[in-house]
Amino acid sequence: MSTAASHYRSPFRQMKNKLPSERPTKRRKMSDSDSSSEIASPTPQIPISGVVKLYLVQAKLTAQNISELFSLAETHNLRVSKSQNRATDPEIQLALCSNPEESDIVVTNVHMRQRLERHIDWNLAKEKAIVTPEWLRDSVRQRTILPCGDYAALRELKKTTVEHCPDSDYDADSDQGTGGASPSARSESEEHVELTKAHYTSRYACLRPCPLVCPNQQLVQQLGIIRRSRELEGKDVNALSYDRTISLLKAYPYRLTSSKLPEVSTLPGIGEKMISKISEYVKHGRIRESETIAASARFKSLSEFTTIYGIGASTARKLFDTFGLRTMADLEEHYASRPASPTHHQRGERKLNTPAPVLSIPAALELRTDLDEKIPRAEVGLMHDIVMAELGKLRSGCLSTIVGGYRRGKAESNDVDIVITHPTLVSGSDQVKGLGELLVNRLYERGLITHVMHLSGFQPANALRTSHWDTLEKALTVFILPPDNSRSRRIHRRLDLIFAAPEAYWTAITGWTGSKMFERDLRLWAKVERGLKFDSTGITRRRDSKPYFPRSEKEVFDLLGLEWIDPTMRNADV
Ligand code: 8GT
Ligand code: MN
């Protein structure tokens, strides 16, 4: 009951084909000044040129082991083994995935076929490298993708594990790239280098692969503070220009040094102001404005206020400016003294067809310690399984995919987003809405949903279209895991359920996977470059409204004329 049906092409292999290792001797051409200062540069330029996706079988691992392995996989890049020039070899990013089918390597503590088959189909297992957790620990320690065969988790899968280990794929490539200096090999390599360049310098975020953590992540985070401050102050246009710069930097594959500044300043849409902030960072390792903002009382209060569900930037400013509130205690006092007012989700909409209470601001304040807490991946998976088990009791044969940041590989999420369909749902009928209401009411009756903030297809428009509202049926809720003796505390979590007819399932998945800027540029690209309208409900041709019904996410990309970008490389926001 998950994404097993999804289109899949290994991102590792795909990126290997499209973005092969960039050798120092065959570096992309640059302006004279650029390349000469590059030679003097003390730091090697290390391109991130591939992703190796890991699937972790959680059985037979302690919670501590699971979180250790997750964090190893989330925070480290590796090089390829046995390569000729370690210092400048491309880095391979590790990424976790939620579906064994999508993985390159399966990490497991299970050593018996029978036991493994409970988690992974045997035929699929034979197509993967199946290794023990030691492989990950040692690889991270040595910063190298170690030969998987030495760490095969099951004896009978050793041969296939050796065959499918990404280390040998890369070696084959590097032999061809560095050893054979034939003219055809060189031109092919240069072509690929051009392609790499074409990717990160592209105007649209949906053409630029963006890892979760980029080589210039600290810079991106500092710019993110300024972006957030602009947003909190209602300067949305300015915030958007920070969004654009951030998404370009997220795709930039090299660590930024002063020699790189001329190139960065030619990236599309990076203005002089941004360049001066970036230069300041490169020179001093910090941006003064970011520091001033982060330390300011106003920024702290506004940021804190807007963490409360139902309080947006303009309400936060009003609370600060008009009512003089500064702290959470002030906020609590303020809302305790006034009757609960309906949230904007209720106003002007049809009444929620559910007995679950709406999350008012005072209720959100009460739950704030829970809702502020990030959700680890394992719990996201558990929440999904519980929701789908309840849905299964109402209607068998539903399909679902966890989308949002989880699908992009985030180790911890702020909320859980799940897209749901059933093969027999008829679009445009009341069936989709009916299924949503049925599930939400069931979860509420079971005590699994405590609040429903929204349950319908209507959303107000957003002028800048940084976030796009579609008409899919969705339930924005607060979820709580069932009581369990092994859990000391049950934490309220934000859960969004999105219901789609089968025709809209794959566009809903693409539309809700994010990140925000990736989605924004996907819609822009579709409109400007392809004459199509893309949103989570589907793809239509603009001139005659002809609808298209993609049957996989790959088809969504194909229809839009886009090269496939794996979800873990759609992290175009901070
Ligand atoms: P997080 O939950 O860990 O903070 O990270 P996230 O999962 O990336 O953020 P999110 O706020 O949960 O949003 C997930 C994706 O869904 C984003 O790309 C966002 O643009 C998109 N999204 C909404 N609301 C809506 C909506 O009403 N319609 C569509 N199509 N997409 C939406 O957040
Ligand atoms: Mn989310």
| Active-site annotation holds for 516 | no
Element (H, E) at 454: strand 449-456
**How do residues 248-270 score in pLDDT, each as one tens digit?**
999 999 999 999 999 999 999 89
Per CATH, domain 210-295 is 1.10.150.110: yes
Q: Which of 107-121, 176-190, 284-298 comes out lowest in average pLDDT?
A: 176-190
Answer yes or no: is the C-beta of 410 below 6 A from any ligand 1 atom.
Answer: yes
Q: Which two tokens stand for residue 204?
A: 């649209």
Q: Which atom of ligand 1 is nearest to the CA of 374?
A: 3
Span(s) in the chain for CATH 3.40.50.10190: 33-180
Q: How far apart are CA 164 and CA 149, in angstroms?
A: 9
pLDDT at 458: 45
Is 468 a pocket residue for ligand 1 (Cβ < 6 Å)?
yes
Quickly count: other Cβ atoms within 10 Å of residue 415's Cβ: 20
pLDDT classification of 89: cutoffs 50, 70, 90: low
Residue 241, both tokens: 């220009």
Token duo for residue 387: 């929701």
Distance 513 CA to ligand 2 centre (A): 8
Q: Tell me what pLDDT residue 7 has.
A: 36
Of the candidates 495, 441, 458, the one whose C-alpha atom is nearest the C-alpha of residue 344 is 458
- Judged against a pLDDT cut of 90, whether residue 206 lies above it is answered with yes
149 vs 316 pLDDT, higher one: 316
Reported confidence tier of residue 430, pLDDT bands at 50, 70, 90:
confident
Q: What is the pLDDT of residue 470?
A: 63
Pick the catalytic residue: 53, 128, 277, 474? 277
The dihedral sign for the CA sequence 407, 410, 411, 412: negative
Residue ranges matching CATH 1.10.150.110 in the chain: 210-295
Per the omega criterion (within 30 degrees of 0), is the bond before 276 cis?
no
Is residue 2 over pLDDT 50? no
Q: Assign 194 to helix, strand or coil.
A: helix
| Correct CATH for 361-569 of 3.30.460.10, 3.90.1150.10, 3.40.630.20, 2.60.40.10 | 3.30.460.10
Structure tokens at 47: 């391109």
pLDDT band (50, 70, 90) for residue 352: low
Cβ atoms of residues 373 and 480 within 8 Å = no
For the chain, residues classed under CATH 3.30.460.10 are 361-569
Binned at pLDDT 50, 70 and 90, residue 535 comes out as very high
| Closest to 2 measured CA to CA, from 420, 461, 455, 333 | 420
**Interatomic CA distance for residues 421 and 236, integer angstroms:** 35
Q: What is the pTM of this model?
A: 0.69
Task: Select from 3.40.50.1240, 3.40.50.9100, 3.40.50.10190, 3.40.50.300 the CATH code of 33-180.
Answer: 3.40.50.10190
In the chain, what is the straight-line distance between the N-terminal and C-terminal CA atoms, in Å?
31
Mean pLDDT value of segment 119-146:
89
pLDDT digits (tens, 9 = 90+) for 358-370: 999 999 999 999 9
3-state secondary structure of 508: helix
Residue 405 CA to ligand 1 centre (angstroms): 8
Region class of 312: left (phi > 0), else alpha (psi between -120 and 50), else beta: beta
Among 88-97, 180-189, 266-275, top mean pLDDT goes to 266-275
Lowest mean pLDDT among 186-190, 266-270, 372-376, 447-451: 186-190
Q: Is the confidence at residue 178, as pLDDT, over 50? A: no
